[in-house]
Amino acid sequence: PAPRVLAQIALAEQALGRVRPDIDPPRAAVTILATLMGLAIMPAQDPPLGPSDDPIAAALLETAADILAHGLQ
Cβ-contact 38, 61 below 8 angstroms: no
Tell me what pLDDT residue 31 has.
Answer: 87
Give the model confidence (pLDDT) of 24-43 as tens digits. Answer: 999 999 988 888 787 666 55
Share the mean pLDDT of the chain: 79
CA distances from 33 to 30, 39, 47, 49 (A): 5, 10, 23, 18
CA 12 and chain centroid, separation: 17
Give CA–CA dist 1/7, Å, rounded. Answer: 10
Is the separation of the CB atoms in 3 and 34 below 8 Å? no
pLDDT of residue 43: 54
Model pTM?
A: 0.62
pLDDT of 11 reads 94
